[in-house]
């Protein structure tokens, strides 16, 4: 049976072309005093310039106690509206109202597949009191320059999660523990710090974690300086109960070159693997902190382009292509943006949004060979030209739990005189799933 279409969505989509994005304030904007203002649910954009070491600060104000999440995205398909390529590797920091106390910082959003998020960042904080808070965006290195997008989501706080009051010393590894069948057991399974050693190049240590409730789990790996050879660079991997299906990994999101990973996991069995970077050896310690999630795990938003779909050539000889942005997620209460590449000179694409396939319709019978239309549209979205032969569109998604899990489809069409007898071109197809977390 088809899932019913939320009745308000077509109304929201029809006015989506009115959605504005907030640009960063003129430089300098590298501290709390010069931060660019943005609002909850907003999508902003900025540029890390080529001066070297550029950082951008943003501010937002909460009027009620809220849970906040912020993430950085790519912006632009090939070239971007600010005249350069997209930044490709960011670090994101969320500051308290004093502009100096760090609430959360992140290098890579490792809880998502790399192909979707790239080297972009996400931070979150919970039960923040009313007040003005600050966000810092910077490149991973001085060579990271270009455009980026910034999403901010704020929801009424469900109350603070209760983590471990203390992290106490736990077990020490026993070799062999290179596979899930001989993994050590995290004894807590939370609120403990275990100790291990990468005794030889390419050694790996596996630990088993058993959760009895849906939980937010935070792992932090550090060097163990109580022995004679502390490890200086770590990696962490988390697997499903089969010990081989990777859920997420992290290299150096912790202090220095150490690993830090935070995941929301359903009750069940998991395996945690600690490695050294490259062929390094040495001793490490790993802390596991957990908090029960009272209302269960949030459903992640998702997107993908359909692999067997393709656009048809326009008058410029290339097809239009839907370019989903790295680390951009169709999350309720935010604005979701996508780029269209390969737009013919003078063409103004319209993006069609729907929930179901129309059954692939070959427009070749109407004079547009190779154009496959595969969507039952409920609304059309205007695009905004950016660079030559590129455009973008933005979809404001209401903060409504009723659409979580609802799938959608997007495809671009354009009047393109001279492309074919029908004077129409079509892009490839992309699908998305609305979620309540990025």
d(CA 348, CA 323): 16
Confidence of residue 4 (pLDDT cuts 50, 70, 90): very low
pLDDT confidence band for 79 (50 / 70 / 90): low
Domain count, the chain: 3
- Tell me what percent of the residues of the chain surpass a pLDDT of 90: 43
Q: Given this model, what pLDDT does residue 78 score?
A: 67
Whether residue 163 is contained in a domain is answered as no
Q: What band does 12 get if pLDDT is binned at 50, 70 and 90?
A: very low
Look up residue 420 and give its two tokens: 């074919």
pLDDT at 285: 93
* pLDDT at position 438: 67
DSSP string, 113-166: -HHHHTB--EEEEEEEPSEEEEEEEEESSTT--EEEEEEEEEEE--------S-
| Residues 247 and 357 placed together within one structural domain of the fold | no
Q: How far apart are CA 52 and CA 312, in angstroms?
A: 41
Q: Are 117 and 327 in contact (CB under 8 A)?
A: yes
Overall residue count recorded for the chain in this entry: 438
DSSP lists the bridge partners of residue 123 as: 70
Full 3-state SS string of 371-387: CEECCEEEEEEECEECC
Pairing of strands 376-382, 350-356: antiparallel
Percentage of the chain exceeding pLDDT 70: 92
Q: Within this chain, do residues 216 and 288 fall inside the same structural domain, yes or no?
A: yes
Q: Per DSSP, what are the bridge partners of residue 437?
A: 300
| Three-class DSSP labels, 161-186 | CCCCCCCEEEEECCCCCCCHHHCEEC
Does the residue 3 lie in any domain?
no
Q: What is the CATH number of the domain that holds 325?
A: 2.60.40
The burial of 2, by beta-carbon neighbours within 10 Å (0-12 exposed, 13-18 middle, 19 or more buried), is given as exposed
Say what the pLDDT of residue 200 is. Answer: 92
Largest CA distance in the chain: 76
pLDDT at 290: 92
Helix (H) or strand (E) holding 114: helix 114-117
Binned at pLDDT 50, 70 and 90, residue 13 comes out as very low
**Residues 64 and 98 reside in one and the same domain:** yes
- The answer on 149 and 192 residing in a single domain is no
Strands 424-433 and 407-415: antiparallel
Could you tell me if residue 92 is inside a domain?
Answer: yes
Is 375 in contact with 352 (CB distance < 8 Å)? yes
Sign of CA dihedral 167, 169, 170, 175: positive
Range of the domain at 175: 168-292
Give CA–CA dist 8/333, Å, rounded. 14
Beta bridge partners of 433: 302, 407
Q: Which of 119, 135, 156 is the last residue of a domain?
A: 156
| pLDDT tens profile 389-413 | 899 888 888 888 888 888 899 999 9
CA dihedral 328, 329, 334, 337 (to 10 degrees): 50
Q: Are residues 64 and 192 in the same domain?
A: no
Whether the Cβ atoms of residue 121 and residue 89 lie closer than 8 Å to each other: no
Q: Which residue has the higher pLDDT, 59 or 372?
A: 59
Instruction: Give residue 1's pLDDT band: very low, low, confident or very high (50, 70, 90).
Output: very low
Structural domain ending residue among the three candidates 156, 188, 217: 156
Phi, psi (deg, nearest 5) at residue 112 = -120, 155
Please indicate, yes or no, if residue 180 is contained in any of the structural domains: yes
- Residue 81 is predicted with a pLDDT of 55
Does the pLDDT of residue 5 top 70, yes or no?
no
In the chain, what is the straight-line distance between the N-terminal and C-terminal CA atoms, in Å? 28
pLDDT at site 263: 85
Q: What is the mean pLDDT of residues 285-312?
A: 80
What CATH code is carried by the domain that includes residue 90? 2.60.120.380
Pair (339, 383) in one structural domain: yes
CA 406 to chain centre: 19
Question: Which helix (H) or strand (E) covers residue 13, if one does?
Answer: helix 9-14
Of 205, 212, 157, 165, nearest to 189 (Cα)?
Answer: 212
pLDDT at 255 over 90: no
Q: What is the pLDDT of residue 84?
A: 56
Contact 142, 87 (CB under 8 A): no
- Dump pLDDT digits (tens) for 216-250: 899 999 999 887 799 999 999 999 999 999 988 88
Q: Mean pLDDT for the chain?
A: 86
C-beta separation of 409 from 276 below 8 A: no
Q: Determine the average pLDDT of the residues in 303-325.
A: 83
pLDDT band at 11 (very low <50, low <70, confident <90, very high): very low
Lowest model confidence (mean pLDDT) among 33-37, 234-238, 249-253: 249-253
Strands of 168-172's sheet, edge to edge?
168-172, 192-198, 282-292, 215-223, 260-265
pLDDT, tens digit, for every residue of 89-138? 899 999 999 999 999 988 888 777 777 788 899 998 888 999 999 999 99
Gap between the Cα atoms of 352 and 306, Å rounded: 15
The verdict on 27 and 152 lying in the same domain is: yes
143-150: average pLDDT = 88
Q: Is the pTM of this model over 0.85?
A: no
- Backbone phi, psi, residue 401, to 5°: -60, -20
Encode pLDDT of 269-292 as tens digits.
Answer: 999 999 999 999 999 999 999 988
The residue out of 226, 258, 292 marking a domain boundary is: 292
- Note whether residue 132 is domain-resident: yes
Same domain, 287 and 333: no
CA distance 350 to 80: 19
Q: Are residues 267 and 329 in the same domain?
A: no
CA–CA distances in Å: residue 342 to residues 232, 271, 273, 374:
46, 44, 43, 19
9's enclosing H/E stretch is helix 9-14
């Amino acid at each position: 049976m088809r899932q019913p279409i939320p009745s308000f969505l077509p109304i929201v989509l029809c006015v989506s072309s009115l959605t504005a994005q907030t640009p960063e304030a003129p430089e300098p904007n590298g501290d709390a005093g010069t931060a660019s203002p943005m609002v909850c649910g907003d999508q902003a954009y900025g540029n890390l310039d080529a001066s070297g070491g550029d950082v951008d600060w943003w501010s937002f104000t909460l009027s009620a106690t809220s849970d906040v999440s912020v993430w950085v995205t790519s912006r632009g398909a090939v070239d971007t509206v600010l005249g350069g390529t997209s930044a490709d590797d960011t670090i994101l920091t969320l500051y308290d109202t004093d502009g100096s106390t760090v609430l959360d910082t992140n290098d890579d959003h490792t809880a998502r597949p790399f192909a979707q998020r790239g080297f972009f960042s996400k931070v979150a904080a919970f039960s923040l009191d009313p007040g003005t808070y600050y966000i810092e965006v910077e490149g991973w290195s001085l060579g990271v320059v270009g455009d980026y997008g910034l999403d901010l989501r704020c929801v009424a706080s469900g109350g603070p999660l209760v983590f471990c009051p203390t992290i106490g010393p736990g077990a020490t590894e026993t070799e062999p523990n290179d596979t899930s069948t001989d993994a050590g057991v995290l004894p807590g399974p939370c609120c403990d710090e275990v100790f291990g050693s990468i005794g030889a190049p390419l050694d790996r240590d596996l630990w088993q974690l058993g959760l009895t409730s849906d939980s937010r789990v935070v792992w932090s790996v550090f060097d163990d300086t109580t022995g004679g050879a502390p490890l200086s660079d770590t990696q962490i991997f988390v697997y499903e109960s089969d010990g081989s299906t990777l859920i997420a990994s992290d290299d150096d999101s912790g202090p220095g070159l150490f690993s830090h990973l935070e995941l929301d996991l359903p009750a069940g069995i998991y395996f945690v693997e600690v490695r050294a970077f490259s062929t390094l050896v040495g001793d490490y310690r790993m802390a596991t902190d957990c908090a029960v999630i009272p209302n269960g795990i949030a459903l992640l938003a998702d997107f993908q382009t359909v692999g067997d779909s393709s656009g048809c050539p326009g008058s410029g000889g290339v097809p239009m292509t839907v370019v989903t942005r790295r680390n951009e997620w169709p999350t309720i209460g935010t604005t979701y943006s996508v780029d269209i590449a390969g737009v013919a000179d003078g063409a103004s694409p319209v993006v069609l949004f729907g929930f179901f396939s129309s059954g692939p319709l070959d427009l070749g019978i109407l004079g547009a060979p190779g154009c496959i239309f595969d969507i039952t549209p409920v609304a059309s979205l205007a695009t905004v030209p950016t660079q030559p032969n590129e455009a973008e569109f933005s979809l404001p998604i209401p903060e409504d739990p009723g659409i979580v899990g609802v799938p959608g489809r997007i495809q671009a069409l354009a009047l393109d005189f001279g492309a074919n007898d029908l004077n129409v071109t079509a892009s490839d197809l992309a699908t998305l799933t609305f979620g309540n977390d990025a």
